[in-house]
Amino acid sequence: MDLFPGHLTTAFHPCDPVFAGGPSTTMVNEAFCAACQQMLATKVAPTETDEYPHHPDETSFRKALDTACAICMQYWLALDRPDGLLSPTWELAKSAGLWYLYLGGTHETKRAFAVTPTVSGKTYADENDSETEAPNASLSDNTRSVQSFAFVRSRYHQCISEHSRCATVSSGAFLPTRLLDVGHEQFASVTLVDREQIQRGSSYVTLSYCWGQATPLKLTSSSVSTLRCGIDDGDLPKTLRDAVLVVRKLQQRYLWIDSLCIFQDKLEDWSNEAVSMQNIYRCATFNIAATAAEDSSEGLFYTRDPREIHPLKIDAAWVLSDGMVNNLDHSFQSYRLSLNRSIDAVVDRSPLNRRAWVMQERYLSRRVIHYASKQIFWECHESYVSETHLGGVVLSDHPIPKPRDLKLKLISHFGSNANDDQIALLRNTLDRDDVYTAWAFFMHWYSSCNLTYWEDRLVAIQGIVRHLETILQDELVAGLWRSRFIQELCWFSLPGDSLSKKASSWVAPSWSWISSARNVRMWWRHLDDAATVVHVGVRVKKSGALIDASLTLRCRLIAATLSPHKRVIIFDLDIKGYTWFYGSDSRLTFRLDDQDTHLEEQPQVFLTVLRHDTTPEGSISGLILISSAQNSCAFERVGAFFNDRLDCPPEAFFVEIATRHKEAEEQTIKLI
């Protein structure tokens, strides 16, 4: 788990339990201050929770900075603010199988260092390990440097030559309708060209970036002639200009940018291109991601202090157990110490990856170059590395699945270039439940992302949807999989502020998570359906946006009333806030889809159990409905309820709910 959410954390994965070369001397520690040397010489185990004094006061700490103690310097540079340093402490901790050194005396000032013993069977502190060279020898002070471009170029060429899963989908089989011709390194202008003007088999690159508040240059009916004649690099917003430089440096010629390759004033052109998004990103040679930039004026490249992010060599007397490293017989052992943000913070939760459209762009791309604020990350189907972690980055110290897991799961089963016949052959051996679960986590991440236009919430993942529909032989209906529709109806919203303002016009039915302005999760426990879908149908636009949707259910309704304080009373069962209390020690989680829902004028609500099991410790989940104000013969969803086995109710409570459900008359209802 992330012990200090929102702050700088890193971790390491357990590696080879045997150190190459045996114990080391303490020579390397002489570069550190006396307080850090004492810390490294203290024989403690990471399973202990005690804190130990680091520097006695701020004067001691600042003296360490003056003597350029690398550990203290990294800690100082990592602080968001330089106060609270009067009596910093240190501790060793273990979380989710990963080891940490924490420095700092308060919650606000604590930062986590990764303690990493080995990678690829050798010690990180090996003198011949290129990953532990002196900072100035391997890291520059700007991500536009020769060294940074060398890192990108080497990763790209290695991927091209060695990674079979990242191979070209089908050379020359697809080209976007339009591309930007950037020429070569000596060029200083770009030209908009049509597909017919490009030699068949040509490769191209895509760009993912935030438009932000800046008004980027756009392709419109009035600007198209200028773009076809060519514009100077200097006329491009900085992010686009930097992307052109990267394309030329990697000896590519064509670049696809949405704002310059899709007519922004022609809805029909936008709809046509939206349908092609799956191929546009899937067939690109690589994708450039302006990961840290809030808008198109910020660019790709950033100034940095190499000392802040470069891993350090240390010798420590710490005792690492669990059979990985056992140095009880030695005074000191070599480690790698690094203080970086986890990938959660640097990439997954970056300004760019909070954009809903980018989830699809990243999913579909075979290779992504992430230009973060401190360093560059390379992500492809077979590797995920950074300038400081050439052997592989630490994804997170938190076990929650990540957005890329869905893609990697499918690639590991089908490969990246499987045709329809190969997919059909391998489909029977696919663990479908595993894929649906990965989709549920992907949907959770996606629903937390921002959209400028709410009606694009389903449109922005159409490329992924089409890919999954082919593999699963299933259909996504208004955001829910048809083959498991009752289970999919049991999504629920998470507490917190709405992510964005909901659309003023209809976008999706109340029973679809597409209609929610909140972060949502799917309820995926293996229960039995307690309701039946009579009919579900949708009409969609070419882009994937919904025109209308209808759902008819065969189910049972349990009447309840809602007080002005949103307390639901079902006989002697109370729902208070988010928790349904019965007696003193049991609960059922209750979530409104929208905290701003005003139900005071209509206190009557209905609960319908959609899924359940029949064991004494049974689980249930279902929906909270109200009569529709727009259609007196229909209902609307306003929330969901469920319990999980971690806090399941006593048998009497489950029997009571089951009894009320069984006593209710089965009926056919329409949900809108």
- Tell me how far apart the alpha carbons of residues 398 and 404 are, in angstroms, rounded to a whole number: 15
Q: What integer is the mean pLDDT of 28-41?
A: 88
pLDDT score, position 170: 58
Whole-model pTM over 0.85:
no
If DSSP states are collapsed to H, E and C, what string results for 338-399? ECCCCHHHHHHCCCHHHEHHHHHHHHHCCEEEEECCCCEEEEECCCEEECCCCCCCCCCCCC
Phi/psi of residue 661, nearest 5 degrees: -65, -45
pLDDT the model gives residue 342: 64
Q: Minimal CA–CA distance to 169: which of 409, 420, 418?
A: 418
Q: Given a cut of 70, is residue 136 above it in pLDDT?
A: no
- Per residue in 168-209, pLDDT tens? 665 457 999 999 999 988 889 999 999 999 998 899 999 999
Could you read off the pLDDT of 534-557 as tens digits, one per residue? 999 999 998 899 999 999 999 999
Higher pLDDT, 452 or 294: 294
Residue 614's pLDDT is 63
Predicted confidence at residue 113, as pLDDT, reads 85
Instruction: Name the helix (H) or strand (E) containing 252.
Output: none
Residue 132: the pLDDT is 37
Do 578 and 588 meet the contact criterion of CB atoms below 8 Å apart? no
Per-residue pLDDT at 588 exceeds 90:
no
Q: For residues 567 and 579, give the distance between their C-alpha atoms in angstroms, rounded to a whole number.
A: 10
Measured over the CA atoms of residue 355, residue 405, residue 382 and residue 417, the dihedral's sign is negative
CA 51, 314, 342, 395 torsion: positive or negative? negative
Buried b / exposed e over 410-436, threshold 16 CB at 10 Å, is bbebbebbbeeeebeeeeeebeeeebb
pLDDT at 453 exceeding the cut of 50: yes
For the chain, the helix, strand and coil percentages under 3-state DSSP, each to the nearest 5: 30, 25, 45
- C-alpha to C-alpha distance for 64 and 668, rounded to whole angstroms: 74
Q: Are 362 and 404 in contact (CB under 8 A)?
A: yes
Please tell me the predicted confidence (pLDDT) of residue 114: 78
Query: Roughly what angle, to the nearest 10 degrees, separates helices 404-414 and 432-447?
Result: 150
- Over 70: is that where the pLDDT of 573 sits? no
Estimate to the nearest angstrom the gap between the alpha carbon of 201 and the chain centroid.
33
For the segment 465-520, what is each residue's pLDDT rounded down to a tens digit? Answer: 998 998 899 999 999 999 999 999 999 998 776 666 666 789 999 999 999 988 99
> What's the pLDDT at 126?
38
Highest mean pLDDT among 164-173, 332-341, 516-525, 570-579: 516-525
The residues, ordered by sequence, that sit 6+ positions from 384 with a Cβ below 8 Å of its Cβ are: 343, 377, 378, 392, 393, 395
Residue 227, pLDDT > 90, answer yes
DSSP codes of every residue in 467-523: HHHHHHT--EETTEEGGGHHHHTT-EEPSS--SSPPPSS--S-TTSGGG-SS-EE--
Q: Quote the pLDDT of residue 533.
A: 98
pLDDT tens column, 347-395: 988 999 999 999 999 999 999 999 999 999 999 999 999 998 887 776 5
Q: Where do the DSSP E strands lie in 111-260?
A: 111-116, 118-119, 122-123, 178-181, 189-194, 205-208, 231-232, 254-256
> How large is the average pLDDT for residues 402-431?
75
C-beta of residue 315 within 8 angstroms of C-beta of residue 40: yes
Instruction: Report yes or no: 31 and 38 within 8 Å, Cβ to Cβ.
Output: no
- Region 415-438 average pLDDT: 78
Between CA 668 and CA 533 the distance in angstroms is 9
How much is the pLDDT for 17? 26
52: enclosing H helix or E strand:
strand 52-53
Write down the pLDDT at residue 581. Answer: 42
Q: Answer yes or no: is pLDDT of 242 > 80.
A: yes
Least confident segment among 92-96, 318-322, 366-370, 523-527:
318-322
Structure tokens at 183: 């020429």
Per-residue pLDDT band for 67 (boundaries 50, 70, 90) equals confident
CA distance 235 to 216: 10
